[in-house]
Structure 1
Amino acid sequence: MTDQPHPFQPRLEHAFTVSIDLTKAVYLKPSSTGMTRAAVWAAQGKVEGKINGIVLPMSGGDFPLVRADGVIDFDARYLFELDDGTHVYLQSRGYRWGTEEAMAKMSRNEPVADHEYYMRVSPKFDVPDGPHAWLNRHIFVGVAEKVPGANRIHYFQVL
């Protein structure tokens, strides 16, 4: 066994952070799958980092599935408007899980320490040709923070 990283281990570089305020969830209990499906809209938000702008209010949202094992399976889609007027479409999939206590706190919109849960996402972007087209050509990983009434997602570009 060696302490050396794998020669093809990717490097990560912080690209930007999205702080997004969410509406109250609407639930389908049970959904056609027998599990719980929710709908939560992107009320507003901001984008800060290598790109800067806003989350266009009510331009989309997240439609998570609460699986039988308690894992939340995210499916989010919404739009950014960058400071230069460019519109960016984001589609993101991911998972959130944690201890029963942490998940109960989050469902009540209470603060939870980041080490009490796992919340990771993998986004894809659709951006017009131009200065932000690099978003179309890279893989990103998001590490998310659940804060009361909102999410803060730190996106890292895989180099």
Structure 2
Amino acid sequence: MPTIPPVPTLEPAFDVVAELGPIEDHGMTRVGHRRVVPIVGGAITGVFDGEILPGGADWQIVRADGSIEIDGRYSARGRDGSLLYLHAVGVRSGDPEVLEALLAGADVDPADYYFRAVVTVESAAHPELERAVYVASYVREANRVRYRAYRVT
């Protein structure tokens, strides 16, 4: 009889609030409609507590249907002085009018759109964080994005 793999569960790991700068719209490039959203600060709390450092960004591709491919890369400095590198890859999608409202900075109920990502972590000081897979559920606000990352057990 073959062994059945364990069923994964989710346990809350950390929360991120990333403050955003103005969208840089690069227009239609060879890979699609490119946008870059600078990350200018923020906070991370949970299994790692610290500040999101300015200098990261979310490199986005806007699909023909208005959905957005997310590729966020940024760093955090912990209260202990250690560094954490986060890389989030995912998608934000929904009805066209909902996506337009988000782009305009409107307060939209997160139940009205889909915004999820896989988050990978690198840290020399906290290698235990590198030994897990994380998935995140997001809320987009006018000048920031918030998410909760869950460790997949």
Alignment TM-score, normalising by the size of structure 2: 0.93
Equivalent position to 1:147, from 122, 125, 141: 141
Match of 2:74 in 1: 78
1:148 Cα deviation after fit: 1.4
Q: Which runs of 5+ in 1 are unaligned?
A: 1-5
The residue type equivalent to 1:20 in the other structure is A
Measure, in 2, the Cα distance between the counterparts of 1:7 and 1:74.
30
Query: Which segments of 5 or more consecutive residues in structure 2 lack a partner in the other structure?
Result: none
User: What is the identity percentage for the equivalent residue pairs of Structure 1 and Structure 2?
Assistant: 29
1:25 matched residue in structure 2: 23
Q: CA deviation at 1:69?
A: 2.2
Q: Tell me the equivalent position of 1:48.
A: 45
Give the drift of 1:91.
1.2
Partners in 2 of 1:140 and 1:158 — Cα distance? 6
Shift of 1:7: 6.7
Q: How many residues align?
A: 150
Whole-angstrom distance in 2 between the partners of 1:97 and 1:27: 18
CA distance in 1, matches of 2:5, 2:87: 30
More strand by share: 2
For residue 116 of structure 1, the aligned residue among 109, 112, 119 is 112
Counterpart of 2:118 in structure 1: which amino acid?
Answer: S
Q: Aligned residue for 2:101?
A: 105
Residue-by-residue CA offset, 1:18-55 (whole Å, 9 max, x unaligned): 0011000111111123x311011111100011211000
Distance 1:36 1:155 in 2: 28
TM-score by length of 1: 0.90
